[in-house]
Amino acid sequence: MRLSDVATIQVNFPEAHFWIVRRGSAERCGEPGRVFNPEHIGIRVDRTDILLPDYLYYALKHLHQQGQWKMLAAGTLSLVNIRVSDVRRIELSPR
């Protein structure tokens, strides 16, 4: 199951539960936050019966801290970005 199966993911999404930095330095790109910015990728969990928004927030925070977004980020040395499609393709696997 992919993240897009249980959540709405788009840019300029003020109704989202949280947002992911889409463009910036390699260290900031992919970092989840709770403050709306129209340039960031918003994520709103639609299937809260199987995935809690706060759990997803901290899971994505862990991915960012592990440097997972650095592998997907594209751009120049000082400014990189991730695509909405990269976030939509995140695989969720029940354990």
pLDDT in tens, 45-69: 999 999 999 999 999 999 999 998 8
Residue 70 makes CB contacts below 8 A (sequence gap 6+) with: 26, 29, 30
Superfamily of domain 3-88: DNA methylase specificity domains (3.90.220.20)
Is 62:80 a contact under the CB 8 Å cutoff? no
**Residue ranges covered by each domain of the chain:** 3-88
Q: How confident is the model at residue 70 (pLDDT cuts 50, 70, 90)?
A: confident
Q: Per-residue confidence at 33, pLDDT binned at 50, 70, 90?
A: very high
Amino acid at 26: A
Q: Please give the DSSP secondary-structure letter assigned to residue 2.
A: B
Instruction: Judge whether residue 82 has pLDDT over 90.
Output: yes
Helix and strand numbers (H, E) in the chain are 3, 7
The token pair that represents 35 in the structure block: 């403050």
